[in-house]
Amino acid sequence: MGSEPKRRVILHPKTALARRHDRARAFGGHVRGYTVDTDDVLGLVRSQRRLSVRLLLLVLIPVAMLPLLFRFVPSSRTVRVVGSLPLPWLVLGPVVLFAIVLIAAIHERRASAIEDRWADRRSSQ
């Protein structure tokens, strides 16, 4: 027997990914095997930030209008809608809550797409 078989550490793929990630800090100018170009990274940060802020405003602006609606259109406080439920209970309850879930789902898809496009461009260079 010439050379001894090399020792190998066997990890669950998820654990391996997590460990590799933690170790990323140790490589001087590299993060996750990518040589850091500050402007390039900040470009990615900017597009994510733009997406997040836009989606937040999409929720916040209509929601912030509601107290004003109740304040200046008194009939909106008591009007009954589906199943004789008063409008405020419907809007401040299920309607707004589920709309927020929808926005989060859109964000999860868009944010991942931004990351994928960014990573694709790096690996094709």
Chain residues in the site for other proteins (CB under 8 A): 12, 14-15, 17-18, 20-22, 24-25, 27, 29-34, 36-39, 41-42, 44-45, 48-49, 52, 55-56, 59-60, 63-64, 66-67, 70-71, 77-78, 86, 88-89, 92-94, 96-98, 100-101, 103-105, 107-108, 111-112, 115-116, 118-119, 122-123
| Helix or strand (DSSP H, E) at 6 | none
Are residues 83 and 43 in contact, defined by beta-carbon separation less than 8 angstroms?
Answer: no
Are residues 51 and 114 in contact, defined by beta-carbon separation less than 8 angstroms?
Answer: yes
For other proteins, the closer of residues 2 and 83 by Cβ is 83
d(CA 125, CA 122): 5
